[in-house]
Amino acid sequence: MLTGELRSQIDAIWNAFWSGGISNPLEVMEQITYLLFIRRLDETHTLEEGRALVLKLPMENRVFPTGKDARGRPYDDLRWSRFKNFAPAEMFTVVGEHVFPFLRTMGGDGSTYSHHMKDARFTIPTPGLLAKVVDMLDHVAMDDRDTKGDIYEYMLGKIASAGQNGQFRTPRHIIKLMVELTAPTARDVICDPASGTCGFLVAAGEYLREKHPEVLSDANARWHFHHAMFHGYDFDHTMLRIGSMNMALHGVENPDIR
């Protein structure tokens, strides 16, 4: 469950978008999703750096290449931990003209998240708003899977409460009931043909972690869980992006969301 402090942090980020000129809740969610993805890329890269340092080996899976991008900006400047310290105007340039084009080229790595970032659009209107939101998101503690998932679920709830987009959200208690009625096992393949924000797939994953812990302790079952178990379909690209990120933040590495 989210603490009161985390809720108020998310509410403040949401309000910053609204007062900064983005009033469509789906667009707010989409821009937050991009920023969370960018932060996650940097965390993944940092983890790889640490591993390479400890093992005294070269980095195998670099997220950010060495050298500079096509516009001459060092790839290191595209990392969250670097650009979050830039002045607002420079941060706005780096994110808009370098980070987002970089995101759009990432589809080649085969992951579902990268695939849905290939038409990423940066629509935050001012340097001031970007700097404010990056600073606020940087102070949101997203250390463990449960917290990440709860934060994202809380933000998704804001889409529903905003009115016209409520059709994307089935209430949590109904999702939970349906998953318990179907009682998935570690060997099943799970499909949601109208997945939206992937609430059903997330709930199925959480159910399996709780009822069938072998899904993560056995090597074959773990591979199946992360790469072959979950399939979700939607016609809305924004929903695909948001649903993919929802799965990522709930700890599923490569679901089939398309």
CATH topology classification for 170-253? Rossmann fold (3.40.50)
Q: Which amino acid is at 74?
A: P
**How many residues are present in the chain?**
258
pLDDT lower than 70: segments of the chain: 1, 107-111, 160-169
Among residues 43, 70, 229, the alpha carbon closest in space to that of 137 is found at: 43
**pLDDT value, residue 168:** 57
* Joined tokens for residue 106: 């990432």
**Geometric angle at alpha carbon 61, from 57 and 197, rounded to 5°:** 150
Quick: pLDDT tens for 87-103.
Answer: 999 999 999 999 999 98
**pLDDT value, residue 166:** 47
pTM score: 0.81
Domain residue ranges in the chain: 4-138, 170-253
Residues with Cβ within 8 Å of residue 12, at least 6 apart in sequence:
136
**pLDDT value, residue 33:** 87
> In which element (H, E) is residue 10 found?
helix 4-19
CA dist 188 and 224 (Å) reads 9
> In which element (H, E) is residue 203 found?
helix 199-211
The answer to whether residues 48 and 61 touch, using CB atoms and an 8 Å cutoff, is: yes
- Edge-to-edge, what's the strand order for the sheet holding 190-192? 190-192, 230-232, 256-257
Q: Which CATH class is domain 4-138?
A: mainly alpha
The strand ranges marked E within 120-253 are 190-192, 230-232
